[in-house]
Amino acid sequence: MNQRRFTVDTIAKLHAAGERFTMVTAYDFTSARIVDRSEVELILVGDSLGMVMQGHDSTLPVTVDDMIYHTRMVMRGAHRPLVVTDLPFGSYTIEDDAIRAATRVMAEGGSQAVKLEGGAQIAPTIRRLVDAGIPVMAHVGFTPQSVHAIGMRTQGRQADQARRVLEDALAVQDAGAWAVVLELIPAPLAAAITERLEIPTIGIGAGPDCSGQVQVWHDLLGLYDEFVPRHAHRLRTFADDAVAALDQYAGDVREGAFPTAENSSTMDAGELARALGDGSGDSDGDHPDGDARDGETLDGETLDGHA
């Protein structure tokens, strides 16, 4: 396994060599550490944290400060994957705001690239960021930050819609994006876009022919049961395992099966007796520290109760 940090350049080389790659979301130190031990090449600190970490029903309430906070945790745990951070809703509507938000995410959070949602309409902002030296991953098709405008459904089924998705992908490439996420578009359309682009495509609900794939950590591992999207690749059911473990823990405590001697430490009985002051640790009843009488210290000075 490659132990060096993946970069935009190394991902481009994988793509040029025809090698597929993977990206997964991570939101904290522990998840990043686990990804770091795997063969996954990229981490996305996604604004999906608003749903799976903060409990919101969409990504819209997430702030730039939230993204910086979670990116910092991820960067402490991830030393091998390339880390990309979402710019949240409302943070890049104006180009100057986009520059400020992206700069903060990279300077304060430590991310290696940012991701923006949108196509041709956001291309000028992507160009501005790239010109400022900020690597940009684009995102077209279904864009979760626009859920109230476009609905939560597959995009590009009709010819005019499909053409618009293709034009969006070409526009963000021309603006300087180094990769583009294709979300919830028909598999044949994703294949056609991938074939026409020079930059890698990263699919989620876009079929098998993209250059790479991305999955949400909680979907992949079965940690989030509120909503399981059709495109989720659920490989484990860790939430069920966690509930079973918690139930066993509660039962073990109630039945006295936990903790045991193996889970506990001990101490000398005499030390405990002296700590409790019951004198049971001294068979002759003498003061444990010598023969000083009440009101007198060992060096003979009288204690009068004052400091």
Per-residue pLDDT for the chain (307 aa), expressed as one digit of tens each?
A: 447 999 999 999 999 999 999 999 999 999 999 999 999 999 999 999 999 999 999 999 999 999 999 999 999 999 999 999 999 999 999 999 999 999 999 999 999 999 999 999 999 999 999 999 999 999 999 998 887 777 667 888 999 999 999 999 999 999 999 999 999 999 999 999 999 999 999 999 999 999 999 999 999 999 977 777 888 899 999 999 999 999 999 999 999 999 999 999 999 999 999 999 976 545 444 444 444 444 444 444 444 444 4
Query: Tell me: the pLDDT tens digits for 250-306?
Result: 999 999 999 999 999 999 999 999 999 976 545 444 444 444 444 444 444 444 444
CA distances from 64 to 26, 104, 118, 135, 291 (A): 16, 8, 18, 17, 68
Decide: helix, strand or coil at residue 205. Answer: coil
CA distances from 143 to 105, 153, 218, 264 (A): 20, 10, 19, 52
**Which sequence spans correspond to the domains of the chain?**
8-234
Does the annotation place 13 within a ligand binding site? no
Does the annotation place 47 within a ligand binding site? yes
Helices first, then strands: H and E counts in the chain: 12, 8
Does the annotation place 117 within a ligand binding site? yes
- Which of the listed CATH numbers 3.20.20.60, 3.40.50.11540, 3.30.70.2740, 3.40.50.11720 matches domain 8-234? 3.20.20.60
The residues assigned a catalytic role are: 183
Prediction pTM value:
0.86
